[in-house]
């Protein structure tokens, strides 16, 4: 069992203020596989104080961006050497199939470190502009102390999408991992220490909701970066609004995959399986609404059903597994409730249903619903599990209308033999990230959502800009 009894604050391992602990339970075996201290508001106070001191008095924000980028580059080298270990920890603590952990859960955070190390080496911190009486210097400065609140589904991805640009910008940071997945953050803390990042620049305190809200509300925090549910995002946004505190909110999604009539279904299903069922369906960008024309509706339903049947359910540590367990029993029950709702609404499960595939572990049967409409709850609410809903459309304009008929606007895809036609569809769907014949989140490009999917952007130069304040300095002559 992986056991820790300290917190990473101020550059060292310190005893927690309280005596509470967090048990990390394997979603496959339902057994305890780790234990860490549960952070308290007092621990958050210490972490913010350390980050505040490091920002106000330490060397980190006073280094050049290129110097900070070089340190982040060293962290990337250390991360690269341990990414296999990181993948195994994430699979153990939250049930992500090991192939997905090795393909995305560990490599994507590494890629972010490498990207921002490269971007920071040449990013312009100052520029000159003409003014009325003389030149104006426009300067970019770090926003200050950052609170990063992250969920459990892709824990390192959502930490690094905040940590890497914040570090390059010159910010200091307090990271609150989700209580379901604290173990990977301890490995990251070891890497941060080894990389030589100054004391107090990075602080990591695993905790629950009470301590998390205390962190968000803390007057010593200048910016909050949150990834999670839309409901929690609204609460965090309201706190930040009251305090005029900067925030980035990456929230829920209910993304649509539009299958055009010219799509080669046999080739598309391989990519769609990743886009719709990655990480056991526990992904905010998952393409869970499959839109098919009435001309090919039955054919698409059959193809999606065959795709899902071809993804073995089982032990996430087994490389042959396509779909593993959900992160917790409450999540298992939530997803089963939605399957029950879909049946009650009149949709037909052509694959899966309410019978659990395994007797032990928090598994649900991967389910494909046919005969659904976009007005059903299974088509409108984020389920966060391996449940797909195939919805018919009349023509291309109707498909775009259905895709846009959602409270969310995080991601989406279109599948077609004509790339230019796919681009035209992409331009009409109101989401922050879109794919033509695949779905990718690119380190060089902004990621975020429209509507209830959030505020602000992460990744790309835009993700670095989110941790910078602009200062204009005018001078005479």
Strand pairing report for 255-259 and 246-250: unpaired
Work out the percent of the chain whose per-residue pLDDT is above 90.
Answer: 100
Sorted by sequence, the CB contacts under 8 Å of residue 440 that are 6+ apart come out as none
250 an active-site residue?
A: yes
Which structure tokens are listed for 21? 């602990």
Tell me how far apart the alpha carbons of residues 132 and 477 are, in angstroms, rounded to a whole number.
10
Residue 150 bridge partners (DSSP): none
Q: Which pLDDT does position 115 carry in this prediction? A: 98
Segment 336-359, tens digit of pLDDT: 999 999 999 999 999 999 999 999
Under 8 Å between Cβ of 445 and 432? no
**pLDDT (tens digit per residue) in 259-274:** 999 999 999 999 999 9
Residue in the structure block whose two tokens are 């920002």: 55
* Three-state DSSP state, 354: coil
CB contact set of 16 (below 8 Å; sequence gap of 6+): 5, 6, 7, 37, 38, 39, 40, 43
What's the whole-number mean pLDDT along residues 447-452?
98
> Looking at the predicted structure, is the pLDDT value of residue 245 above 90?
yes
Which phi and psi angles does 351 have, rounded to 5°?
A: -140, 140
Angle made by CA atoms 56, 175, 203, in degrees to the nearest 5:
50
| Distance between CA atoms of residues 59 and 177, nearest Å | 26
Q: Average pLDDT of 221-235?
A: 97
pLDDT-derived band of residue 427, with 50, 70 and 90 as boundaries? very high
pLDDT confidence tier of residue 52, bands split at 50, 70 and 90: very high
Residue 69 has pLDDT above 80, yes or no: yes
Q: Provide the pLDDT for residue 199.
A: 98
The region, left, alpha or beta by phi > 0 then psi within -120 to 50, assigned to residue 454 is left
Q: Distance between CA atoms of 163 and 188, rounded to whole angstroms?
A: 11
pTM of the predicted model, to two decimals? 0.96
Local structure of 348: helix, strand or coil: strand
Catalytic position from the list 92, 93, 180, 250 = 250
The closest alpha carbon to 162, from 90, 96, 113, 197, belongs to 113
Residue pLDDT, tens place only, 5-39: 999 999 999 999 999 999 999 999 999 999 999 99
Mean pLDDT of all residues in 372-379: 98
Q: What is the pLDDT of residue 477?
A: 75
- Name the H helices within 3-105: 41-57, 65-94, 98-100
The C-alpha angle with vertex 150 and arms to 146 and 155, in degrees rounded to 5, equals 125
Residue 436 pairs in a beta bridge with 414
The residue from 88, 240, 284, 396 that is catalytic is 284
pLDDT of residue 227: 98
- The strand pairing partners of 392, in sequence order, are 292
Q: Please provide the average confidence, as pLDDT, over all residues in the chain.
A: 97
For 152-177, what is each residue's pLDDT tens digit? 999 999 999 999 999 999 999 999 99
Q: Would strands 246-250 and 454-455 be described as parallel, antiparallel, or unpaired?
A: antiparallel
Judge whether 434 and 424 are in contact, CB under 8 Å.
no
Residue 420 annotated as catalytic: no
Q: Indicate the pairing of strand 21-25 with strand 32-37.
A: antiparallel
| Residue range 173-222, pLDDT digits in tens | 999 999 999 999 999 999 999 999 999 999 999 999 999 999 999 999 99
């Amino acid at each position: 069992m992986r056991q820790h009894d300290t917190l990473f604050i101020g550059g060292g391992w310190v005893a927690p203020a309280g005596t509470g602990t967090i048990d990390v339970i394997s979603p496959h075996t339902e057994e305890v596989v780790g234990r860490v201290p549960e952070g308290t508001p007092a621990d958050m106070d210490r972490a913010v104080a350390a980050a505040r001191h490091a920002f106000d008095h330490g060397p980190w924000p006073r280094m050049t961006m290129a110097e900070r980028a070089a340190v982040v580059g060293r962290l990337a080298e250390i991360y690269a050497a341990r990414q296999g270990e990181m993948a195994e920890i994430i699979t153990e603590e939250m049930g992500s199939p090991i192939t997905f952990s090795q393909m995305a859960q560990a490599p994507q955070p590494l890629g972010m470190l490498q990207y921002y190390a490269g971007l920071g080496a040449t990013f312009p911190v100052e520029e000159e502009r003409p003014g009325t009486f003389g030149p104006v210097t426009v300067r970019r400065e770090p926003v200050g102390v950052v609170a990063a609140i992250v969920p459990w589904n892709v824990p390192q991805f959502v930490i690094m999408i905040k940590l890497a640009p914040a570090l390059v910008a010159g910010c200091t940071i307090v990271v609150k991992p989700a209580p379901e997945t604290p173990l990977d953050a301890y490995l990251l803390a070891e890497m941060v220490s080894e990389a030589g990042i100054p004391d107090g620049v990075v602080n990591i305190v695993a905790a629950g909701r009470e301590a998390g809200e205390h962190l968000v509300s803390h007057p010593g925090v200048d910016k909050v970066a949150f990834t999670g549910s839309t409901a929690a995002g609204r609460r965090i946004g309201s706190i930040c609004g009251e305090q005029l505190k900067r925030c980035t909110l990456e929230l829920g999604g209910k993304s649509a995959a539009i299958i055009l009539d010219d799509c080669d279904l046999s080739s598309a299903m391989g990519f769609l399986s990743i886009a719709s069922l990655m990480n056991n369906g526990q992904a905010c960008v998952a393409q869970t609404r499959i839109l098919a024309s009435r001309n090919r509706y039955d054919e698409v339903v059959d193809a999606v059903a065959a795709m899902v049947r071809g993804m073995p359910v089982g032990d996430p540590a087994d490389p042959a597994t396509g779909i593993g367990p959900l992160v917790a029993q409450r999540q298992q029950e939530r997803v089963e409730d939605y399957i029950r709702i879909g049946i009650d609404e009149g949709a037909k499960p052509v694959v899966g249903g309410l019978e659990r595939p395994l007797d032990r572990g928090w598994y649900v049967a991967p389910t494909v619903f046919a005969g659904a409409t976009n007005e059903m709850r299974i088509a409108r609410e984020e389920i966060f599990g391996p449940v797909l809903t195939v919805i018919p459309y009349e023509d291309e304009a109707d498909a775009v209308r259905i895709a846009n008929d959602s409270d969310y606007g995080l991601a989406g895809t279109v599948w077609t033999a004509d790339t230019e036609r796919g681009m035209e569809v992409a331009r009409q769907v109101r989401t922050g990230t879109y794919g033509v014949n695949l779905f990718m989140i690119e380190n060089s490009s902004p990621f975020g959502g429209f509507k209830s999917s959030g505020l602000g952007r992460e990744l790309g130069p835009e993700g670095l800009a989110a941790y910078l304040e602009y200062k204009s300095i005018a001078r005479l002559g």
